């Protein structure tokens, strides 16, 4: 790697700036902690959780009320007595969950919006410190999978600021904040996920990436075009990375067969940070124990064993601005056996969850809608939202909200939804008390019934 030096007159060995050095310090620790036995990792998590719980009881009105029963000494039994935090509660108790004080050294606060896999948008706060950890785990992922960051990265994702509008997309000078002030990287090219398959293929062949970052559903469609006999020549491609959606069975193998490269998946959530990274030697995932305590719980609230599937409950270890203690993210995962690679980081074999259904446009194009909940929440306080495409140009919108909007506000919300979908669909709004899950316990915020 070609490291960036911020010291005048010092080119080699490089001396990066203070924030980059902190990331390197974390990465150095991760190199050791990944090999710790699971018992030692759990013990160190509990020490950090004791700090977080003490802070939450003192500075968060919600936890001052709900954690009054905890003993002064936090142990595993006391930890498991803390009730699981539901998304509904995060919505309803947002002001009370927020810490009235955060250590100054943790840096400024930023509000993060997330729809999650349940279609229930929430807003939490994070700090400069939590962003630092996000960047450090990005570096771990690069290191684990031996990426040459001097290569060209292409990303097909959601870019709400309009910086990656098809067909040309957008460009950036580097791979992002995790590496920008640390090493010299290759360029990045970006294309909005709302582009058509034809636009994506033409863009990829023009850009010729060495690394591709996208959603599983986008990759699936690209691979289906290859299976249908359409050529896609990516002569420099070295790896595909997928994010943001559950990875369907068989997609890794199809990627290897059709593109000739490996697929590396990442499991993270906007409100909690990195949860699991794919093992560098196997297809399963290692929980990022240095970032969060992650519990996979059965229907009775007990920890699942290898081979069992349970709900994912997460506690970010370093967010003192908006503590989320035993927060149920809405996903399900299957617990795995200890990894043959020797790392003590716990294993999950797969993450289960819904995939967004495909939106069909009248001109024959298709794409997967990703809604800008941050923008919509500035118009209407959404508790829950689901859209069903019932006809080619008609979509029913079910909304759960604390305040039903007037006609003018509803029109603004409709315009925002149409902008997200990329077409002026006829929208029919229905205001309901709740939107039930499917019989399988899933929730989809978009479904299409158009053949």
**Confidence label for 120 from pLDDT (cuts 50, 70 and 90):** low
**Confidence label for 369 from pLDDT (cuts 50, 70 and 90):** confident
Residue 101: what pLDDT? 97
Q: Are strands 109-114 and 122-127 parallel, antiparallel or unpaired?
A: antiparallel
Q: CA-to-CA distance for 27 and 4, rounded, in angstroms?
A: 17
Residue 438: what pLDDT? 46
- 77-90 mean pLDDT: 95
The average confidence (pLDDT) of the chain is 90
Residue 332: what pLDDT? 84
Residue 446: what pLDDT? 82
Q: CA-to-CA distance for 116 and 128, rounded, in angstroms?
A: 22
Q: Is 299 exposed, middle or buried (0-12, 13-18, 19+ CB in 10 A)?
A: exposed
| Residues 227-275 pLDDT 10s | 878 889 999 999 999 998 778 778 999 999 999 999 999 999 889 999 9
| Residues 34-50 pLDDT 10s | 999 999 999 999 999 99
Q: Name 175's Cβ contacts closer than 8 Å, sequence gap at least 6.
A: 149, 153, 185, 186, 188
What are the φ/ψ torsions at residue 185 (nearest 5 degrees)?
Answer: -110, 170
Residue 353: what pLDDT? 57
- 113-132 mean pLDDT: 80
Q: CA-to-CA distance for 326 and 330, rounded, in angstroms?
A: 12
Residue 229: what pLDDT? 82
Instruction: Kindly report whether the peptide bond that precedes residue 167 is cis, defined as omega within 30 degrees of 0.
Output: yes
The pTM for the full model equals 0.81
**Confidence label for 400 from pLDDT (cuts 50, 70 and 90):** confident
Residue 449: what pLDDT? 85
Q: Are strands 153-157 and 188-192 parallel, antiparallel or unpaired?
A: parallel
Q: Is 413 exposed, middle or buried (0-12, 13-18, 19+ CB in 10 A)?
A: buried
**Confidence label for 377 from pLDDT (cuts 50, 70 and 90):** confident
Residue 118: what pLDDT? 46
Alpha-carbon separation of residue 442 from 40, 117, 240, 344 (angstroms): 35, 9, 27, 31
Q: CA-to-CA distance for 317 and 328, rounded, in angstroms?
A: 15
| Residues 312-346 pLDDT 10s | 999 999 999 999 999 999 888 999 999 999 999 99
């Amino acid at each position: 790697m070609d490291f960036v030096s911020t010291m005048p007159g010092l080119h080699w060995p490089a001396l990066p700036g203070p924030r980059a050095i902190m990331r390197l310090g974390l990465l150095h620790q991760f190199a050791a902690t990944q090999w710790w036995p699971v018992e030692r990792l759990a013990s160190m998590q509990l020490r950090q959780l004791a700090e977080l719980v003490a802070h939450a009881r003192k500075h968060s009105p919600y936890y001052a009320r709900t954690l009054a029963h905890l003993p002064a000494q936090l142990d595993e039994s006391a930890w498991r007595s803390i009730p699981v935090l539901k998304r509904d509660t995060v919505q309803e108790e947002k002001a009370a969950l927020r810490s009235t004080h955060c250590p100054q050294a943790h840096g400024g606060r930023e509000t993060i919006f997330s729809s999650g896999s349940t279609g229930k948008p929430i807003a939490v706060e994070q700090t400069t410190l939590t962003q630092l950890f996000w960047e450090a785990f990005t570096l771990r992922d690069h290191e684990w999978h031996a990426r040459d960051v001097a290569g060209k990265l292409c990303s097909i994702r959601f870019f709400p600021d309009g910086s990656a509008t098809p067909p040309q997309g957008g460009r950036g000078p580097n791979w992002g904040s995790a590496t920008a002030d640390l090493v010299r990287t290759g360029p990045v090219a970006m294309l909005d996920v709302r582009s058509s398959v034809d636009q994506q293929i033409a863009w990829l062949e023009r850009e010729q990436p060495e690394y591709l970052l996208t959603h599983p559903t986008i990759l699936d469609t690209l691979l289906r075009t290859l299976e249908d006999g359409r050529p896609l020549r990516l002569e420099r491609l070295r790896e595909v990375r997928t994010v943001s959606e559950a990875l369907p069975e068989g997609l890794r193998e199809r990627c290897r067969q059709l593109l000739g490269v490996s697929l590396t998946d990442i499991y993270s959530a906007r409100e909690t940070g990195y949860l699991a990274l794919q093992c560098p030697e196997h297809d399963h995932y290692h929980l990022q124990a240095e970032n969060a305590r992650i519990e996979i719980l059965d229907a009775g609230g007990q920890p699942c064993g290898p081979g069992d599937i349970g709900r994912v409950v997460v506690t970010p270890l370093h967010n003192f601005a908006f503590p989320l203690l035993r927060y149920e993210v809405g996903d399900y995962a299957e617990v795995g056996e200890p990894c043959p690679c020797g790392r003590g980081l716990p294993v999950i074999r797969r993450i289960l969850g819904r995939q967004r259904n495909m939106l069909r446009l009248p001109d024959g194009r298709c794409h997967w809608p990703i809604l800008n909940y941050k923008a919509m929440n500035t118009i209407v306080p959404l508790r829950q939202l689901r859209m069903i495409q019932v006809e080619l140009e008609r979509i029913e919108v079910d909304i759960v909200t604390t305040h039903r909007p007037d006609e003018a506000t509803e029109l603004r919300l409709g315009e925002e939804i149409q902008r997200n979908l990329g077409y002026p669909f006829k929208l029919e709004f229905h205001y309901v008390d709740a939107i039930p899950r499917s019989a399988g316990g899933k929730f989809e915020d978009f479904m299409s019934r158009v053949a």
